[in-house]
């Protein structure tokens, strides 16, 4: 069976700072029509940064859609300041966490919510992290607290529901796998 849908019409409903929203009319494989609400996003970069004493960098922040505080790895939207996802990763590591590294290595690319959005997340591993000499200014609407957590502390944050987003859960699993490879 062919699964591809054919776009018949696209109506642009909203253009925002972070996302755009479109309403598409599509032809289904069975010949019927359907509507799809699609969130357009420029993509984002996230960084797994672990200190020499095996503590991962997390940022604590309020997430209005969830109505709760979360604990996440440093991450952010790829924007006009960035010529690549990697550039966004370097910027976010500095801006949100106050760290830099000697190298960033792409570990994974994935879509955050492919059922309704095209946001592609780029997940990087940072090597030899250290505090920055000169920290970039955070976005004016960001209020963050940096935490350095051990694996056990991160697991407690997962169990408590503070680490609850897919990118950070995936990052912790990558970290566990890297630790197994080392031992």
For 31-75, what is each residue's pLDDT tens digit?
999 999 999 999 999 999 999 999 999 999 999 999 999 999 999
pLDDT at residue 179, rounded to an integer: 87
Residues 85, 79 contacting (CB under 8 angstroms):
no
Confidence (pLDDT) at 158: 98
pLDDT at 141: 92
Q: Where are the domains of the chain?
A: 6-40, 44-182
Q: Which fold has domain 44-182?
A: Nucleoside Triphosphate Pyrophosphohydrolase (3.90.79)
- Quote the percentage of the chain above a pLDDT of 70: 99
pLDDT value for 72: 99
Indicate the pTM of the whole model: 0.94
The 8 Å CB, 24+ separation contacts for 101-107 are 101/49, 101/126, 101/127, 101/128, 101/129, 101/130, 102/127, 102/128, 103/127, 103/128, 104/47, 107/48, 107/174
Find how far residue 179's CA is from the centre of its chain: 22
Average pLDDT over residues 151-158: 98
Whether the pLDDT of residue 182 is over 90: the answer is no
Nearest-CA neighbor of 109 among 40, 44, 179?
A: 44
Which residue matches tokens 């309704």?
Answer: 116
Residue 102 pLDDT > 70, yes or no?
yes
**What's residue 1's pLDDT?**
62
């Amino acid at each position: 069976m062919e699964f591809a849908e054919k776009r018949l019409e696209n109506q642009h409903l909203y253009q925002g700072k972070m996302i755009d929203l479109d309403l598409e009319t599509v032809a289904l494989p069975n010949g019927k029509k359907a509507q799809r609400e699609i969130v357009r996003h420029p993509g984002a970069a996230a960084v797994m940064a672990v200190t020499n004493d095996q503590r991962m960098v997390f940022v604590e922040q309020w997430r209005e859609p969830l109505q709760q505080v979360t604990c996440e790895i440093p991450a952010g939207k790829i924007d006009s300041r960035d010529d690549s996802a990697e550039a966004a990763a370097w910027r976010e590591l500095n801006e949100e966490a106050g760290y830099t590294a000697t190298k960033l290595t792409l570990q994974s690319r994935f879509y955050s919510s492919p059922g309704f959005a095209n946001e592609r997340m780029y997940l990087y591993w940072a090597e030899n992290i250290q505090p920055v000499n000169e920290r970039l200014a955070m976005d004016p609407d960001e209020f963050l607290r940096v935490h350095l957590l051990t694996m056990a502390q991160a697991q407690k944050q997962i169990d408590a529901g503070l680490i609850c987003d897919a990118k950070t859960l995936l990052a912790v699993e990558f970290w566990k796998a890297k630790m197994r490879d080392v031992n």
